């Protein structure tokens, strides 16, 4: 026979998994430092790759000037500027990444507690009939 209470809890768990599971489950596998650190490494790679692409476009744009002058001191000065911009941008981007993923981890930890509470409720519902059955057997003996 259908147990409506169980169905209600299971539906709630399934909906929770569908809505929040995408963020909660990956975060629950790691400590906060590992989770945020991993995301920051990924951000570093993405940022560096994006910067390289933009640099390639800039070099193509400046190609004529670079080829015509071939001034080493001017090139070194430009390289310094590029490195400065890259470092400043990287710092800002990593700070944003840290802020976003720290908040997501904290939200995920709260969500995980709710998720576990729901699972415990469901577990109790499964345990309840078996405990009742054991008690009845003891009485018969």
Q: What is the contact surface with another protein in residues (CB under 8 A)?
A: 42-43, 46-47, 49-50, 53-54, 56-57, 60-61, 63-64, 93, 97, 100
Of 64 and 137, which has the nearer Cβ to another protein? Answer: 64
Of 64 and 136, which has the nearer Cβ to another protein? Answer: 64
**SS3 readout for 75-86:** HHHHHHHHHHHH
Of 52 and 114, which has the nearer Cβ to another protein? Answer: 52
Q: How far is the CB of 121 from another protein (least distance, A)?
A: 27
- 70 three-class SS: coil
Q: How far is the CB of 47 from another protein (least distance, A)?
A: 7
Of 99 and 126, which has the nearer Cβ to another protein? Answer: 99
DSSP 21-57: HHHHHHHHTS-HHHHHHHHHHHHHHHHHHHHHHHHHH
State the Cα–Cα distance between residues 113 and 127, nearest whole angstrom.
21
Residue pair 16/110 in contact by the 8 Å Cβ criterion: no
Q: How far is the CB of 19 from another protein (least distance, A)?
A: 12
Q: How far is the CB of 108 from another protein (least distance, A)?
A: 13
State the Cα–Cα distance between residues 53 and 50, nearest whole angstrom.
5
């Amino acid at each position: 026979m259908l147990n409506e209470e169980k169905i209600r809890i299971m539906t709630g768990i399934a909906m929770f998994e569908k809505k929040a599971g995408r963020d909660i489950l990956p975060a629950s596998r790691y400590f906060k430092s590992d989770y945020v650190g991993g995301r920051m490494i990924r951000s570093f790679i993405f940022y560096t790759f994006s910067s390289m692409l933009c640099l390639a476009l800039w070099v193509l744009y400046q190609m004529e000037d670079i080829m015509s002058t071939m001034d080493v001191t001017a090139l070194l000065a430009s390289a310094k500027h590029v490195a400065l911009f890259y470092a400043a941008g990287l710092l800002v981007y990593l700070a944003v990444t840290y802020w976003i993923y720290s908040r997501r981890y904290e939200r995920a930890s709260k969500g995980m507690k709710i998720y576990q509470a729901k699972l415990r409720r469901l577990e109790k519902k499964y345990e309840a009939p078996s405990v009742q059955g054991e008690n009845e057997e003891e009485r018969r003996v």
